[in-house]
Amino acid sequence: MSDANHTPADGSGPEHKTSNFLRAIIERDLEQGSYASRRWAGTPGDGAHHGQGEPDPAKIRTRFPPEPNGYLHVGHAKSICLNFGLARDYGGVCHMRFDDTNPEKEEKEYVDSILDAVQWLGFGWDSSFGGKTESHLYYASDYFDFMYRAAEALIQAGHAYVDEQTPEAMRASRGDFTTPGTDSPFRARSPEENLARFREMRDGRHADGAMVLRAKIDMASPNINLRDPAIYRIRRATHHNTGDRWCIYPMYTFAHPIEDALENITHSICTLEFEDQRPFYDWLLDKLAELGLLARPLPRQYEFARLNLTYVITSKRKLAQLVNEGHVSGWDDPRMPTIVGLRRRGYTPESLQLFAERIGVTKADSWIDYSTLEIALRDDLENKAHRGMAVLDPVRLVLTNWDEVMGAGHLEPCSLPALPHVAEGRTPPPAREFTIGREVWIEREDFAEVPPKGYKRLFPGNKVRLKGGFVVECTGCEKDADGRVTTVLATVVPDTKSGTPGADAVKVKAAITWVGVADGVAAEVRLYDRLFTDAHPDAGGKDFKASLNPDSCRVITAYVEPSLAQAVPDEKFQFERHGYFVADRQDHAPGRPVFNRITGLKDSWGK
């Protein structure tokens, strides 16, 4: 398989993760040889096609089947990590399949963005068994011919019929959870009549919505999904892949199990909303196997709880509303839960994989607190992100005796480690170099003319260390006409530079971050926060826009140390004391640094 997916063929490698019910099912199937008899012809196809192939070298086959009608979000990231990760861990392969059966919603833009998201997360869809490489990028629309053939086979066997009732009449005749459905007046047609009518549908001889093809199962079934579900409808629309060749299209519930079977999928993993559809999934594949179109063993569907994340909405319709109404700047706005948004915000593939592993896989719906996602990001970046000093709310600090002690105009070189902790065996990165002079920028909150109880930073008469530099003693401040502090005044204590023999001669209770006026660089910093103030913004039919956070994006001008000015787009840093930041992958450029806040150093929402 591709490097991203490679594991030992027996799935026994160190990549094995925490057990869950899906892993238990797969391990049971492997132990029992449930799928050992499968054959694979190198490409998707029916039973006869695969019957000509070799024994399937993939121990399992999973699939990730998004509909290309929007951008993927954090919930899809969980599904990607799950499906591709299981295939990787058990010597299998995960198919990348676009479920493009709806001709009116799909766009090439979404196809490209989905492929990019999967690869960015660290996964691929190529396999390499026995020195033979195969790509497993598939489109459901390529199977339309077989789906039509399967529909005709069901009609001829008496398992499907054309219904000409109005949609309203069909809904009324389905019944409800307490009332069984009633048969359609067209249900008793002969297979010959139904086949002729279905071919008329195919040939465009009837209007959109005039009739549908329904499976003939059981109108009295307690599972409403088995009350003769529609499997084909008339829809005159140009399809992005097949053009105008078809004017009838399969319903998703009909297409999905067929796609799985043609691709030799073993474990079809879905979210819980498809649980009630599983009986139809099994019914359809069993009937097509009985008719000789598919070979056994057949795929099996398993459901898991979808991701419910606090302070987030994942409805494509609502996310589109945020974009279209200008509440965010686009699908890749760093406040969006889309994968492109998370990527621009500064999340790493490793952090999302770690998040997916930690939240696990269950069959019970539950809510995951947003802080869990942020913790995974911090844990990933803690020993990766280079440190740097930045002043986000700057006020000027003037060292009034600098020229006297150090020499007029002197700039003293300073350095700090780029990473305070380096893994054993790894070479530490070069230290950050910067200078200190007569004037530096400090955080406004690091000075108090009248300090509150317990305050340890700058106030008249108190000493602090400028981190990586000298100890300074505050002497006062200057203010404007409105009483706002414009300059903090201090004196430098000689021979106290960090790293020199006299550095510890003067004891202080605090060290503060700073940036030199001489070599600091002005930068645009975007302070992103959660998009909603409500943990469940759209629960219970609430207007999700009513809880939009007015402070979800604040843009400021900050000063950053010289090393940060050399950042390349998408490079991550820890701004000391402030949190994790990333050079914006779109707007950051030489001479115009732009940084996004990814997350703070700790969770402030839980307080």
Q: Is 68 marked as binding a ligand?
A: yes
The CATH code for residues 21-137+264-305 is 3.40.50.620
Task: Flag the least confident range among 154-163, 427-436, 463-472.
Answer: 427-436
Chain segment 290-318, per-residue pLDDT in tens: 999 999 999 999 999 999 999 999 999 99
Relative orientation angle of helices 144-156 and 252-262, to the nearest 10 degrees: 110
> Region 360-387: what's the mean pLDDT?
94
Q: Is 252 annotated as a binding residue?
A: yes
Contact 216, 187 (CB under 8 A): yes
449 assigned to a ligand binding site: no
**Amino acid type, 365:** D
Active site residue 463: no
Task: Confirm or deny that 397 is annotated as ligand binding.
Answer: no
- The 8-class DSSP code of residue 329 comes to S
In which residue are the tokens 């019944």 written? 175
Was 590 annotated as part of a binding site? Answer: no
pLDDT tens digits, one per residue of 251-292 = 999 999 999 999 999 999 999 999 999 999 999 999 999 999
* Candidate list 67, 164, 193, 357, residue with the active-site label: 67
What distance in Å separates the CA atoms of residue 12 and residue 498, rounded to the nearest whole number? 50
606 pLDDT band, cuts 50/70/90, is low
**CA neighbours closer than 13 Å in the CB half-sphere of residue 158:** 3
pLDDT tens, position by position, 171-194? 999 999 999 999 999 999 999 999
pLDDT of residue 423: 74
Q: Average the pLDDT over 162-177 and give the result.
A: 95
Give the DSSP H or E segment for 282. Answer: helix 278-290
Cβ neighbours of residue 377 under 8 Å, at least 6 residues apart? 346, 347, 348, 351, 355, 580, 598, 599
Residues 6+ apart with CB under 8 A from 317: none
Residue 214 labelled as part of a binding site? no
Mean of all residue pLDDT scores within the chain: 94
Residue 41 has pLDDT above 90, yes or no: yes
pLDDT in tens, 338-356: 999 999 999 999 999 999 9
Burial of 341 (0-12, 13-18, 19+ CB in 10 A): buried
DSSP states of 170-217 as a string?
A: HHHHT--SSS-----TTTT--HHHHHHHHHHHHTT-S-TTS-EEEE-S
Three-state secondary structure string covering 109-178 = HHHHHHHHHHHHCCCCCEEEECCEEEECEEEHHHHHHHHHHHHHHHHHCCCEEEECCCHHHHHHHCCCCC
Q: Which residues contact 553 (CB under 8 A, 6 or more apart)?
A: 334, 335, 526, 527, 528, 529
Domain boundaries, the chain: 21-137+264-305, 144-250, 316-382, 393-512
Cα separation, 201 vs 408, whole angstroms: 90
Confidence of residue 153 (pLDDT cuts 50, 70, 90): very high
Phi, psi of 285 (to 5 degrees): -65, -40
Is 322 marked as binding a ligand?
Answer: no
Length of the chain as a residue count: 607
- Amino acid in the structure at residue 409: G
- The answer to the question of whether 109 is labelled as a binding residue is no
- 539-589 per-position pLDDT tens digit: 988 999 999 999 999 999 999 999 998 999 999 999 999 999 999 999 999
The residue-averaged pLDDT of 453-475 equals 96
Please state, in angstroms and as integers, the Cα–Cα distance from residue 572 to each residue in 170, 229, 303, 348, 586, following that order: 56, 51, 36, 9, 14
Instruction: Report the run of H or E that residue 252 belongs to, with start and end.
Output: helix 252-262
Name the DSSP letter for residue 323.
H
Contact between 302 and 267 under an 8 Å Cβ cutoff? The reply is: yes
Q: Which residues pair with 492 in a beta bridge?
A: 472
pLDDT in tens, 201-222: 999 999 999 999 999 999 999 9
Query: According to the 3-state scheme, what is the secondary structure of 31-96?
Result: HHCCCCCCEECCCCCCHHHHHCCEECCCCCEEEECCCCCCCCEHHHHHHHHHHHHHHHHCCCEEEE
| DSSP structure class, residue 458 | B
Residue 433 phi/psi, 5° resolution?
-115, 135
Task: Confirm whether 554 is a catalytic residue.
Answer: no
Instruction: With CA atoms as reference, report the closest residue to 7 among 117, 115, 127.
Output: 127
Q: State how far the Cα of 396 lies from the Cα of 515, in Å rounded to an integer.
A: 10
Please state whether 495 falls in left (phi above 0), alpha (psi between -120 and 50) or beta: left
Cα 278 to Cα 274, 285, 396, 431, 533: the distances in Å are 7, 11, 67, 58, 37
pLDDT for the residue 19: 85
Instruction: Let me know the angle formed at the C-alpha of 102 by 101 and 108, rounded to the nearest 5 degrees.
Output: 90
Mean pLDDT on 101-130? 90
> Amino acid identity of 388?
G
- In the set 187, 199, 235, 306, the catalytic residue is 306
Element (H, E) at 23: helix 21-32
**CATH class of the domain comprising 316-382:** mainly alpha
Residue 42 — very low, low, confident or very high, per pLDDT cuts 50/70/90? very high
Give the C-alpha separation, 94 to 138, whole Å: 11
In angstroms, the CA 504 to CA 506 distance is 5
Architecture of domain 144-250: Alpha-Beta Complex (3.90)
The one catalytic residue in 316, 358, 467, 545 is 316
pLDDT of residue 12: 42
Give the pLDDT confidence score for residue 605 in this predicted structure: 61
Percent of the chain that is helix, strand, coil (3-state, to 5) = 30, 25, 45
Whether 306 is catalytic is yes
Q: Give the three-state DSSP class for 405.
A: helix
Mean pLDDT of 464-478: 97
At the topology level of CATH, where does 393-512 sit? Ribosomal Protein L25; Chain P (2.40.240)
Residue with tokens 């707007």: 587
What phi and psi, each to the nearest 5 degrees, are found at residue 74?
-60, -30
Q: Give the H or E element holding residue 526.
A: strand 521-528
